[in-house]
Structure 1
Amino acid sequence: MSRLFSTIASAPMVASLVISAVLALTACSRPTTLQEIRNEGVLHVITRESPSIYYEGRNGVTGYDYELAKRFANELGVELRVRVADDNTEILSVLSRDFAHIGMAGLSDQPGLDNQYRVLPTGIAAQSVVVYNRDFDRPESLGELEGQTLHLVPDSNHEHHLSDVSGYRWRVHPGIDAAGILARVESGEFPYAIVSSNELELNQVFYPKVKEAFALGNPEELAWLFPKGQDKTLITAANQFLQKLQADGTLAQLAERFYGHLEQLNYVGARTFMHHVNNRLPKYEDLFQDYADQSGMDWRLLAAIGYQESHWRPNAVSPTGVRGLMMLTRNTASYIGINNRMDAEESIQGGARYFQMVHDKIPDRIPEPDRTWFALASYNVGFGHLEDARRLTEGAGKNPDRWMDVKEFLPLLAQKEWYQKTRFGYARGHEPVLYVQNIRRYYDVLARITDRPTPDTETIAEVVNMEESTLPDGSSNDSESSGDIQASLPADLGLIPPTL
């Protein structure tokens, strides 16, 4: 029963008020069959803001679940109408009253849930993980947390793992999301907490002092929830739709798009990047914005390339002679009209020009964001080697226009049995894969920071207020020197806009 009804029932209110409230709620209920939904022309979805589900970035709304829902609505020929809830408690309440057709809450099928809702897995698996502040002792099991309090969000996947174990306490925090829990673990306010593994992966870079201790249970697929009051026609159609996406590879491609660039983050690498965001990036941010605008690209992407190349150091020099903030070769600089590679402005201008030229060479038929990922790989290893990898991909019966397929074949360019079959021969093909992964992650962080500044960003700035360390030179942007020092750079961050 809703909080509104509980309050009314506990007070000597006039019965007509209760009746009016019930009638008002009833009037807001949604069509309950697929045909009625099509007749109305609207698919009503309720969700919450989370990088794993739904969020609004610079280029519009995106998120794994949102992208699925948008495609499903298009399949049905109806409008997708999204209501954003404060938390899972509100989502479950709305579904229980049949005020939405689908709930996207980042929940898996757990004991008792299917008694209240219809549950449909959506292809992403996650598990509950215990996290801790690295200044505290790492626990190996729940048994080692005796006397401690575990903190978690309400109506989560986590509580059913805790109900049969004693010796410790747990506390749910209404009004706080997973990022809020992680921020408090980062600061030490919450020494121990439980979050979903996918939300930890997506937020890890912002909270470098948070570490994973151990998992509770096995990975479980996250699901969409449907009201029990509906008949089965909508969930049946959704299930058939997801099966089709799984069969044609779309589900795997979406999973790669949102999760493929996420790796376990190195503590030093994450702190170093955030330190440089606060101390180096402000010197060059206007230049990145100006020259990115001139080239028609997102300035955060250009800045991410610059960080991967040199850690935003205008005097960087590699052993093979590429130099400057964007690590341009002499030939590349000459070709695009750059005279002084060590001048930060000229270097950024040259990097923007060169990337746009590379991007323009990628076939127009390749949709975003894959086209940008191919352009990044070409920027690193050269267009010819990228084309060789795409031919190998096609020869193996996979899609040469899809990054998740081609990135499997790029490393083969370093093996004689494969590169001898290609036009351009040997290349250190694992390097563009790491290069793209890193830049995607860097971009992801920059996009989230610049799109929506939050108090959490201030917390991070305090945490990373550390002495600047000496860092290695960045890698180059073309095949003559790419990867000479790639291994020295933190390979655990990287990113690109999911909406590109």
Structure 2
Amino acid sequence: MALLVSVILSVTACSRPTTLQEVLNEGVLHVITREAPSIYYEGREGETGYDYELAKRFAEELGVELRIRVADDNTEILSVLSRDYAHIGMAGLSGQAGIDDLYRVLPTGIAAQSVVVYNREHGRPGSLKDLTGQTLHLVPDSNHEHHLDTEDNYQWQVHPGIDAAGILARVESGEFAYAVVSSNELELNQVFYPHVKEAFALGDPEELAWLFPKAQDKTLITAANQFLQKLQADGTLAQLSERFYGHLDQLNYVGARTFMHHVQNRLPNYEHLFQSYAKDAGMDWRLLAAIGYQESHWRPNAVSPTGVRGLMMLTRNTASYIGINNRMDAEESIEGGSKYFQMVHDKIPARIPEPDRTWFALASYNVGFGHLEDARRLTEGAGKDPDRWMDVKEFLPLLAQKEWYKKTRFGYARGHEPVLYVQNIRRYYDVLARITDRPPARPEPVSEIVNLEGTPPDTTPANQKVVPDDIQASLPSDLGLIPPTL
């Protein structure tokens, strides 16, 4: 609350309560947004998303309740803000011309640009001039239209009722040949649409922003700006950016198709085992499944040149230590992997909050606790935070360089491998979470948003994978799915 004192004192002489005072008096911060993985969505553990996490922290700073209203699209968000029916709008828009004339704009730390995408079966356009006679498809009230020129020989069509994922699904299926989406939404959804490729960007990256009604005075946006500056100074903005965007480049076209194929054809054979043993270990079954996929692509007979074996690729010593007799038995391997991961997780200092504690545990699972501690000491010695994964992952690769590992207790390690290992598993986990999450309609808000431990067991039947319609529509027919009618 300290950052608000100057704002409050400057307006207490006013006869009518300021916007900030109204928020404090009511005890509620009203925010309108739309569902998108880049902004806000509801998963198994509750509400999350980059913008949501910022708004949640801002409400906590003010000492008020955060009350979210979910709109159908940006058109509704802008309409509500124009009528001053919400304090903040989170729409994934930048402050381009037209927006900043109608609303107060506060950048939030994520930059994105409008990108032209196409189905890989079509030729790649190099510029808008190559789209003569073609139609670009886009969502309404976006960042994109101000980049388009009515004098060029192409057209564009706006699709009310369709979000960015819906646009991408239609490009994937071939219904749309070309479209324009935001680069951050493409990154978050790319794995589900492997036939969609980026052609070129329209303009430079623009920082995405929160929108405030022009009818408000400046007290609330000033307080929000001061709060975001504080988060930027203490590294929280960078940490949230890494959490939501720092692992999104880990699946290329072939990897995405292969993973989705294995989700449909291999995972159902083992899902009930992941669920059962993850529950015993107090962890999210999808995280355990993601580890198993990274280790063996869910192959129970996998063998590496170094002698690790089975679906969870356990070493002989590890299997013996945790009481696993047959590493090639899928159930024993999954049981052993869950036990071993929990042991590793328990060694990570409890003061490290989730999800970073889990990322550290994954790195330790891969490279060993001693090497992880060496990297954390190097991180601390460089003046960075040894309890933040985003800092430590910069120093792990240095364990392969003599000038660095000679300073450590445990010496040489191929430190780039745990970084890739963690990033891959995070991506696999994200995908599994997206295609298995089925929260109840409008659940009550929860206080703890990210918690990979102690997740309630999934109730989906073991051999039934529920895939959202927009994702299912994008998958090639050779993956055994029947796309719904679009």
What TM-score do you get using the length of structure 2 for normalisation? 0.89
Which residue of structure 1 lines up, in the alignment, with residue 120 of structure 2?
Answer: 134
Q: Structure 2 CA distance, aligned partners of 1:306 and 1:464?
A: 24
Which residue of structure 2 lines up, in the alignment, with residue 455 of structure 1?
Answer: 469
Q: Is the 8 A contact 1:390 1:400 kept in 2?
A: yes
Q: Which amino acid aligns with 2:121?
A: D
Selected match of 1:412 from 390, 398, 406? 398
Asked if 1:196 is matched to 2:172, the reply is no
| CA positional deviation for 1:32 | 5.5
Which residue of structure 2 lines up, in the alignment, with residue 161 of structure 1?
Answer: 147
Q: Structure 2 CA distance, aligned partners of 1:460 and 1:146?
A: 26
Which residue of structure 1 lines up, in the alignment, with residue 21 of structure 2?
Answer: 35
| CA positional deviation for 1:121 | 0.3
| CA positional deviation for 1:243 | 0.5
Selected match of 2:422 from 436, 444, 467? 436
| CA positional deviation for 1:456 | 2.3
Q: Is the 8 A contact 2:170 2:474 kept in 1?
A: no
Q: Which amino acid aligns with 2:269?
A: K
Q: Structure 2 CA distance, aligned partners of 1:422 and 1:86?
A: 54
Which residue of structure 2 lines up, in the alignment, with residue 375 of structure 1?
Answer: 361
- The percent identity for this pair of structures is 86
Within 5 A, what are the aligned runs for 1:67-466?
Answer: 67-163=53-149, 165-263=151-249, 265-452=251-438, 453-465=467-479
Residues 153-194 of structure 1: per-residue CA shift (max 9 Å, x gap)? 000000000035410000000000000000000000001000
Q: Secondary structure at the match of 2:470?
A: helix
Residues 280-333 of structure 1: per-residue CA shift (max 9 Å, x gap)? 000000000000000000000000000000000000000010010000000000
Residues 34-60 of structure 1: per-residue CA shift (max 9 Å, x gap)? 011101100000000000000011111
Q: Is the 8 A contact 1:88 1:105 kept in 2?
A: yes
| CA positional deviation for 1:143 | 0.2
Q: Is the 8 A contact 1:53 1:104 kept in 2?
A: yes
Which residue of structure 2 lines up, in the alignment, with residue 49 of structure 1?
Answer: 35
| CA positional deviation for 1:459 | 2.2
Q: Secondary structure at the match of 2:479?
A: coil
Q: Structure 2 CA distance, aligned partners of 1:310 and 1:338?
A: 18
Q: Is the 8 A contact 1:53 1:65 kept in 2?
A: yes
Q: Any stretches of 5+ residues in structure 2 without a counterpart?
A: 1-16, 439-466, 481-486
Which of structure 1's runs of 4+ aligned residues deviate more than 2 A?
456-466
| CA positional deviation for 1:464 | 4.9
Q: Structure 1 CA distance, aligned partners of 2:402 and 2:250?
A: 31
| CA positional deviation for 1:262 | 1.0
| CA positional deviation for 1:130 | 0.2
Q: Structure 1 CA distance, aligned partners of 2:107 and 2:27?
A: 25
Q: Secondary structure at the match of 2:308?
A: coil
RMSD: 1.1
Compared CA separation, residues 32 and 143, structure 1 to 2 (3 A): farther
Structure of higher RCO (CA pairs closer than 8 Å, 6+ residues apart): 2
Compared CA separation, residues 358 and 138, structure 1 to 2 (3 A): same
Q: Is the 8 A contact 1:410 1:430 kept in 2?
A: yes
Residues 443-476 of structure 1: per-residue CA shift (max 9 Å, x gap)? 000000001442123324444528xxxxxxxxxx
Q: Secondary structure at the match of 2:141?
A: coil
Residues 70-112 of structure 1: per-residue CA shift (max 9 Å, x gap)? 0000111111000000000000000000000000000001111
What TM-score do you get using the length of structure 1 for normalisation? 0.86
Q: Is the 8 A contact 1:201 1:264 kept in 2?
A: no
Compared CA separation, residues 74 and 316, structure 1 to 2 (3 A): same
